[in-house]
């Protein structure tokens, strides 16, 4: 029962009871999942590997009369909202109907079902800090996007979001776990086996990637950060596109200045389309297609095809022209000819492009390709993905219909690994805190206190490739 | 999915029935009358609009914020929360969702200004309070943030914006011509093949060959019928409204304003967006025919800005071999084949708003500086006046004043009373049962006045 003191405190704050109720109901990360280890970190936060714990309810009487989550979904209202004299506070029956002891009760409509022992990747967003104290400064734009889009979009080639948990001023997104990713596969071939990726595998990887991107595009969603590290492959050989933090819907009303208004810089530099480098303020789904072309080339060559150095912003507000990146592209494709891209003269940075030349003239793409593959259809697809003019570049739908995908038995196989003798290493998981696998580090309040900048946290991409990871684009 | 309403979280999880809506409000209704609660929602919507305008947000983010707010109170009660904090958080999240983010600090400072105007002291002007509320809000929204608004449906239905924008490179007519060409070629090929094979077979086995030819003919006719049906389905299935019909610019304008107003009601929790859009068009049609003595459609000079004029609709449909576009409002609306019961329930819900709104915030009180407001006010006074005569007295009995000031007082009273009741649960239980037994319509019960009507009693 409520003491008078608490009432007095509540008088000052009408949200007192609401917060108490919600906090009590909250499904906590550690009650639901066992953390197996740490996967990677980035500017957004960290990713952990975790396994679903058995729910307390499933141990005892499973078919208890508690409302199943589906019924709750149908009602669209939580159980305790139904008229009953003892709404809220002091429900002393600490049985399985108590959400605290039964996380399954806290499932929301739209959450994905899972069974005990299922493995997940938990992405923990870095909480905001003011000095040493955690504060709420509002969820970042990329966090909001990722939650919004992953909750709404479901496709075989899109990494599935099981649920979102908010705890200790931090966001935890629980994704399905994927054992591999494009970067790791490329690295395995370039460093360990020193053989090219088998062409049936390569073809299926690209095909499934295009399937996922086509799905995104037909849902009016631009990914805007396609790169090998963001494209995952699970152990049954299905491609899963991840990281929708830069993605956005484009049928929505545009901010001042169109797509450009929200995010000044999109797509990691090596995968950035020429229209973006030339400062286009209104770009299209073709920017994703360019990135796919780069990924295709990287799968063939096992190294990035346009590996330019990013020009940094030097104090000024103005974005620098990415001369080096443009140069790298021209080295392979040759400089832009007027008939290849008539619209280039309207690009904001066109003059800078001209003045920062001259760019090397030869076009070594044909010989570049011949070193790596003999399929003329494969070359045709690559050149169409690398079309200078975004309007002429293939769309995802057109690319999927390209005859190259029908060569060598096509892409009907469900698993990209089918028929391949290569076995890829499993994802490296580190155990922080001297192998204390029980937890690693999360949430901070439960782990042993340690310095946030512990040397245990090397970026995963760096440990994987042995080369500096692709620079993160500035998020603004 | 963000392109298909039918598989969206909006459709699957957030359209509820009216009884469920009533159940979700039972707690608040212990502390105020249904009409007062309705007015409170008008009040909060007004505040969301004001705050959104100050933050330079456009109508879509504001509409999203309103929908978030309504969804939040499906699971919670006004008397147990701080609606002003919730409202600010809704605006904050909606701005992000609609890709026009605003800084948390400017939300807090602008909210302070707006709330000061209405003498609202309950709002805690701290960023971390708002940030915390954002978390709770996201949880209560089940992280479903994509909302389908009727504005897009309205533009599709009236042919202002093709629903298939960007998805199809060719217009329907072009596509149809290509399709027909291809079909013709394949048929020619097929015919030739059949002729060839017949020539071969005829020589060897004459009698079965003849049978085959006859059989083929039948199959061909069936095929053709099927193909034609398929073709029409394909043409219609593009979701494009080319050639479907035409709605006057004035009607569209009024429909748009009506949609703006619907965010004061519960229709967005009860009906899918296309129903709401058609309802708005229906009301707009009725209004324009009320004003002008001519037919159901008025023609204004501004109609030149339309994408499709009647004429092009007609010609497109002629080219495609489809029925001519509807030539009257009723035909136009009938063409959508929506369930009329649902449509009229939604229309009723929209019309009901205006009389209550008029009594809560009389048109004369509102500023009439800009033309948009003027038109909206006109709408309100027409509709409000029209339905006032019938329903108003039943709900209201006495003419008592319940405006913005009273709304602010009522919110505080509700929260305080709820806190008192929570502090004395036994007492509250007794009170609750007593209150619940009252017919909800009789708002002036003794019990009710002891909680919220103190002012009135003192008089």
Q: Which two tokens stand for residue A359?
A: 């760019």
**Which residue of chain B has the CA closest to A3?**
B423
Q: Which residues from A are below 8 Å from B24, CB to CB?
A: 77, 81
Report pLDDT for B1: 46
pLDDT for A344-375, tens place per residue? 888 888 888 888 877 776 778 888 888 888 88
- The residue to which tokens 């049936």 are assigned: A200
pLDDT at A203: 92
Average pLDDT for chain B: 75
Picking from B154, B158, B374, B150, the residue whose alpha carbon sits closest to that of residue B262 is B150
Mean local confidence (pLDDT), B364-385: 60
pLDDT digits (tens, 9 = 90+) for A375-385: 889 999 999 99
- CA B257 distance to own-chain centroid: 12
The pLDDT assigned to A85 comes to 38
Region of A220 (left: φ > 0; alpha: ψ -120 to 50; beta: rest) is: left
- In order, the DSSP letters of B372-393 are HHHHHHHHHHHHHHHHHHHHHH
Residue B346 distance to chain A (closest CA, Å): 20
**pLDDT of B37 above 50:** yes
Name which of B164-173, B174-183, B220-229 the model is least confident about.
Answer: B164-173
Token pair for residue A222?
């631009």
Q: In the numeric block, which tokens belong to residue B315?
A: 């010609």
Whether residues B264 and B361 share a domain: the answer is yes
Same domain, B143 and B261: no
Query: What pLDDT sits at residue B302?
Result: 37
Residues on chain B touching A144 (C-beta within 8 angstroms): 93, 96-97, 145
CB contact under 8 A, B24 and A81: yes
pLDDT for res B258? 94
Q: Please say whether the beta carbons of A247 and A262 come within 8 A.
A: no
For residues B52-56, give the mean pLDDT.
94
What are the C-alpha distances in Å from B352 to residues A369, B183, B343?
69, 54, 14
Nearest to A110 among B9, B76, B82 (CB): B9
- CA distance linking residue B58 with residue B325, whole number of Å: 34
In whole angstroms, give the CA distance from residue B274 to residue B267: 11
B101 to A252: CB separation less than 8 angstroms, yes or no: no
Which one is catalytic: A13, A132, A168, A225? A225
Per-residue pLDDT reduced to its tens digit, A276-298? 888 887 888 899 999 999 999 99
Provide CB contacts within 8 A for A309, sequence distance 6+: A324, A325
Q: In sequence order, which ranges of A130-175 are alpha helices (DSSP H)?
A: 141-152
Residue B203 within any structural domain of the chain: no
Q: Are residues B39 and B70 in the same domain?
A: yes
B213/B295 same-domain check: no
Whether residues B143 and B18 fall in one domain: yes
What is the domain-level CATH number for residue B88?
A: 1.10.472.10
Number of domains in chain B: 3
Range with lowest mean pLDDT among A27-31, A118-122, B4-8, B16-20: A27-31
Domain assignment of residue B426, yes or no? no
Q: Name the helix (H) or strand (E) containing B431.
A: helix B425-436
* Pairwise pLDDT comparison (A448 vs A384), residue with the higher score: A384
Mark whether B291 and B373 lie in a shared domain.
yes
Residue that terminates a domain, selected from B360, B386, B412: B386
Q: Is the pLDDT of residue B107 over 50?
A: yes
Residues from chain A that touch B130, judged by Cβ atoms under 8 A, are: 136, 138
Distance CA A389, CA A341 (A): 5
Mean pLDDT of B47-51: 95
Inside any domain, residue B324: yes
pLDDT digits (tens, 9 = 90+) for A194-250: 999 998 999 999 999 999 999 999 888 899 999 999 999 999 999 999 988 888 887
Query: Which range marks the domain in which residue B280 is found?
Result: 249-386
Q: What is the pLDDT of residue B242?
A: 47
**Side-chain half-sphere of A136: how many Cα atoms within 13 Å?**
19
CA atoms within 13 A on the CB side of B8: 20
Copy the structure tokens of residue A206. 């690209």
Cβ contacts of B152 on chain A, cutoff 8 Å: 251
Q: Pick the residue with more confidence: A33 or A95?
A: A33
Domains and CATH numbers, chain A: 28-55+100-177 (3.30.200.20), 180-405 (1.10.510.10)
Q: Classify residue B441: in a domain, yes or no.
A: no
A139 touching B (Cβ < 8 Å) = yes
Contact B82 A154 (CB under 8 A): no
Distance (Å, rounded) from C-alpha B173 to C-alpha B162?
Answer: 14
Instruction: Extract the runs of DSSP E, i.e. beta strands, from A379-432.
Output: none
Q: Do B359 and B256 share a structural domain?
A: yes
Q: Do A76 and B16 touch (CB under 8 A)?
A: yes
Is A325:A301 a contact under the CB 8 Å cutoff? no
B365 and B315 belong to one structural domain: yes
Tokens of B166: 């960007």
Whether residues B220 and B281 fall in one domain? no
Distance from the Cα of A357 to chain B's closest Cα (Å) equals 36
> Is A9 at the interface with chain B, CB within 8 A?
no
pLDDT at B179 over 80: no
On chain B, the residues whose CB falls within 8 A of the CB of A70 are none
- Residue B18, pLDDT > 90, answer yes
Residue B354: is its pLDDT beyond 50? yes
pLDDT at A348: 87
Q: In the prediction, which pLDDT does B312 show?
A: 56
- pLDDT tens per residue, range A244-259: 888 888 765 444 445 5
| Burial of residue B235, with CB atoms counted within 10 A of its CB: 0-12 exposed, 13-18 middle, 19 or more buried | buried
Q: What is the CATH number of the domain that holds B358?
A: 1.10.472
Active site residue A225: yes
Name the more confident of B357 and B425.
B357
Q: A85 and B429 in contact by Cβ < 8 A?
A: yes
Q: Are residues B182 and B301 in the same domain?
A: no
Residues B215 and B326 in one domain: no
Interface touch B96/A251, C-beta < 8 Å? no
Task: State mean pLDDT over A81-98.
Answer: 41
Task: Kindly state the average pLDDT of the residues B326-352.
Answer: 84
Indicate yes or no: CB of B136 within 8 angstroms of CB of A4.
no
Portion of chain A with pLDDT greater than 90, in percent: 30
- On whether residue B260 sits in a domain, the answer given is yes
Mean pLDDT lowest among A68-72, A221-225, B403-407: A68-72
Q: Would you state the structure tokens that stand for residue B441, as one six-digit string?
A: 């319509």
Query: Using an 8 Å Cβ cutoff, are A205 and A182 in contact?
Result: yes
- A34 versus B212: the higher-pLDDT residue is A34
Between A166 and A67, name the one with better pLDDT.
Answer: A166
End-to-end Cα distance, chain B: 56
**Is B160 part of a structural domain of the chain?**
no
Predicted-assembly ipTM surpassing the 0.90 threshold: no
Domain for residue B263, yes or no? yes
pLDDT for position B200 = 67
The reply to whether B307 falls in a domain is yes
The token pair at A48 is 């952990």
Q: Are A269 and A471 in contact (CB under 8 A)?
A: yes
Q: B263 and B232: one domain? A: no
Q: Which residue has the higher pLDDT, B299 or B228?
A: B228
């Amino acid at each position: 029962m409520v003491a008078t003191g608490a009432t007095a405190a509540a008088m000052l704050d009408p949200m007192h009871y609401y917060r108490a109720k919600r906090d009590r109901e909250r499904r906590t990360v550690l009650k639901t999942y066992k953390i197996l280890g740490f996967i990677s970190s980035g500017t957004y936060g960290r990713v952990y590997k975790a396994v679903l714990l058995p729910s307390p309810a499933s141990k005892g009487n499973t078919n208890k009369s508690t409302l199943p989550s589906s019924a709750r979904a149908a009602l669209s209202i939580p159980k305790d909202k139904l008229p009953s004299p003892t709404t809220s506070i002091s429900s002393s029956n600490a049985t399985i109907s108590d959400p605290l002891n039964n996380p399954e009760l806290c499932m929301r409509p739209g959450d994905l079902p899972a069974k005990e022992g299922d493995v997940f990747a938990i992405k923990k967003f870095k909480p905001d800090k003011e000095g040493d104290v955690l504060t709420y400064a509002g969820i970042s734009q990329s966090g909001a996007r990722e939650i919004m889009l992953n909750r709404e979009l479901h496709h075989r080639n899109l990494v599935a979001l099981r649920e979102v948990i908010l705890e200790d001023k931090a966001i935890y997104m629980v994704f399905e776990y994927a054992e591999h990713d494009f970067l790791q596969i490329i690295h395995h071939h370039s460093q360990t086996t020193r053989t090219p990726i088998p062409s049936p595998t390569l073809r299926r990887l690209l095909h499934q990637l295009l399937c996922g991107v086509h799905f995104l595009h037909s849902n009016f969603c631009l990914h805007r950060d396609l790169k090998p590290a963001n494209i995952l492959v699970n152990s049954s050989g299905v491609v899963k596109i991840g990281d929708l933090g830069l993605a956005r819907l484009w049928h929505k009303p545009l901010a001042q200045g169109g797509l450009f208004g929200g995010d000044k810089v999109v797509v990691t530099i090596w995968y950035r389309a020429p229209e973006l480098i030339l400062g286009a303020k209104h770009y299209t789904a073709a920017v994703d297609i360019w990135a796919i072309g780069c990924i295709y080339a990287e799968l063939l060559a096992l190294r990035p095809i346009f590996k330019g150095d990013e020009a940094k912003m030097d104090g000024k507000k103005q974005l620098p022209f990415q001369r080096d990146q443009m140069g790298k592209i021209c080295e392979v494709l040759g400089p832009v000819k007027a008939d290849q891209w008539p619209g280039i003269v309207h690009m904001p940075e066109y003059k800078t492009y001209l003045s920062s030349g001259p760019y090397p003239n030869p076009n070594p793409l044909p010989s570049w390709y011949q070193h790596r593959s003999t399929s003329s259809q494969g070359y045709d697809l690559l050149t169409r993905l690398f079309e200078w003019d975004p309007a002429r570049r293939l769309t995802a739908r057109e690319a999927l219909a390209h005859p190259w995908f029908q060569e060598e038995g096509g892409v009907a196989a469900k698993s990209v690994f089918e028929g391949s003798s290569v076995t890829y290493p499993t994802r490296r998981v580190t155990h922080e805190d001297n192998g204390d696998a029980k937890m690693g580090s999360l949430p901070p309040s439960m782990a042993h206190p340690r310095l946030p900048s512990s040397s245990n946290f090397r970026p995963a991409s760096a440990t994987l490739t042995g080369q500096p990871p692709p620079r993160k684009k500035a998020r603004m | 999915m963000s392109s298909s309403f039918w598989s969206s979280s909006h459709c699957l999880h957030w359209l509820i029935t009216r009884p469920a809506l009533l159940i979700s409000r039972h707690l608040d209704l212990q502390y105020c009358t249904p009409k007062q609660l309705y007015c409170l929602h008008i009040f909060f919507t007004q505040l969301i609009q004001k705050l959104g305008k100050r933050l330079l947000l456009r109508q879509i983010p504001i509409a999203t914020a309103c929908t978030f707010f309504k969804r939040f109170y499906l699971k919670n009660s006004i008397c147990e929360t701080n609606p002003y904090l919730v409202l600010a958080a809704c605006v904050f999240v909606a701005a992000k969702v609609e890709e026009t983010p605003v800084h948390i600090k400017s939300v807090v400072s602008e909210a302070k200004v707006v709330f000061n105007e209405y003498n609202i002291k309950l709002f805690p002007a701290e960023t971390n309070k708002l940030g915390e509320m954002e978390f709770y809000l996201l949880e209560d929204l089940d992280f479903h943030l994509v909302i389908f608004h009727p504005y897009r449906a309205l533009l599709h239905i009236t042919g202002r914006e093709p629903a298939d924008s960007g998805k199809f490179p060719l217009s329907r007519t072009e596509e149809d011509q290509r399709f027909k060409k291809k079909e013709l070629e394949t048929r020619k090929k097929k015919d030739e093949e059949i002729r060839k094979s017949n020539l071969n077979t005829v020589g060897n086995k004459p009698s079965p060959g003849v049978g085959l030819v006859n059989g083929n003919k039948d199959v061909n006719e069936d095929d053709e019928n099927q193909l034609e049906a398929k073709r029409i389905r394909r043409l219609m299935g593009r979701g494009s409204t080319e050639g479907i019909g035409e709605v006057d610019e004035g009607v569209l304008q009024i429909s748009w304003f009506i949609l703006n107003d619907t965010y004061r009601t519960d229709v967005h929790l009860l009906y899918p967006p296309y129903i709401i859009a058609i309802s708005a068009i229906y009301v707009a049609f009725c209004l324009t025919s009320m004003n002008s003595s001519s037919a159901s459609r008025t023609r204004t000079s501004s109609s030149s800005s339309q994408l499709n004029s009647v004429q092009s609709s007609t010609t497109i449909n002629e080219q495609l071999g489809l029925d001519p576009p509807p030539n009257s409002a009723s035909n136009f609306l009938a063409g959508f084949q929506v369930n009329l019961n649902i449509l009229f329930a939604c229309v009723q819900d929209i019309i009901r708003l205006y009389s209550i709104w008029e009594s809560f915030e009389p048109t004369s009180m509102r500023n009439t500086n800009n033309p948009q407001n003027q038109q909206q006010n006109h709408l309100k006074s027409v509709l409000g006046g029209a339905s006032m005569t019938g329903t108003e007295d039943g709900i209201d009995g006495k003419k008592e004043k319940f405006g913005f000031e009273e709304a602010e007082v009522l919110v505080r009273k509700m929260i305080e009373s709820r806190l008192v009741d929570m502090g004395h649960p036994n007492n509250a239980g007794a009170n609750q049962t007593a209150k619940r037994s009252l017919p909800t319509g009789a708002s002036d019960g003794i019990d009710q006045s002891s909680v919220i009507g103190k002012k009135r009693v003192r008089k």
